Amino acid sequence: MSLPLPLDGLSAIVTGAGRGLGRAEALELARLGAAVVVNDYGQPGRDGSGEASAAPAEEVAAEIRAAGGRAVAHLGDVSDHQQARELVESTISAHGRLDILVNNAGILRDRMVFSMTEEEWDSVIRVHLKGHFNTTHFAAAHWRARSKATGGPVYGRIVNTSSEAFLAGSAGQPNYAAAKGGIVGLTTSTALALAKYGVTANAICPRARTRMTEDVFAGFQEPADGTLDPLAPEHVSPLVGYLASPAAAGVNGQLLVVHGGMVAVVERPRVAAQFDAAKETFTFAELDGLLTPYYADRPPNETFAAAEVLGLKRR
């Protein structure tokens, strides 16, 4: 007699699941027993351009079903509030409830801050940050209503996708870095708001070779010996499966970096130094005498080389 799978009987939504990270995450959740709604708007351009198509989502759903899992495809733009509502409501209608939400959908419109257009800023913030909010809003309302109806905690898991672009900086991605930083704020706020209902919310910063990161990892060649690429999305998906599972009930409001067989837990910012005014308030001269020497003694704030940030060597 086979043992039950960790996610048996649970239903999940994975957004942006037609390719790359989302695809790997949807496959992993299905492998662990969840019934998966594979959401993807299906536009071919990584900048969100091109005609929307159901094909990417349908192909992943078919792949899951061929492996013996349960999955349906959903073509919808999560940056649209009403389409996000329909995604969540259709999942609840099909399965009786929603248990897991993995927010992964995103686009890139890279440009330096002094060259970026308003549309390039707005579009990336809309898909990443607003897209995360839209699905979270409707999922959270569902879990709150269920908890009130049952009089106790319910099962709910949110896994959001941030990026080290907001941690280490990314000169050509002010829109993307801002959106990913906002997602961390959304995650921690959601974690606090939903904890009393039994729901957890966590965020990951994945490093993976996908069409979104093809420029970033252009100098890091895939292994020629047939071993698994250190940047393969399959290194990220097991963490998503864990965070979506009952085993992670005690993990809430956390940010984790994951890639190539490594998971790092990121601490919340800590105070590095504190200075107190000699009198009621600071004077310019006093601040100059305190802060200027402090920063002069610290290493220069240099931009990390890609290999340093990624912890990888070019092959």
Please list the active-site residues.
163, 176, 180
Instruction: Write the CB contacts of 18 (distance below 8 Å, at least 6 apart in sequence).
Output: 38, 40, 42, 55, 56, 57, 59, 60
Quick one: tokens of 75? 């073509």
Residue (of 131, 141, 146, 159) closest to 7 by Cα position: 159
Q: How far apart are CA 254 and CA 83, in angstroms?
A: 28
Q: Are 11 and 35 within 8 A, CB to CB? A: yes
Interstrand relation of 262-266 and 255-259 (parallel, antiparallel or unpaired)? antiparallel
Q: How far apart are CA 281 and CA 57, in angstroms?
A: 59
Q: Are 58 and 42 within 8 A, CB to CB? A: no
Q: How wide is the angle at C-alpha 277 spanned by C-alphas 274 and 282, nearest 5°?
A: 115
Q: Are 12 and 101 within 8 A, CB to CB? A: yes
Tokens 């908890």 belong to which residue?
147
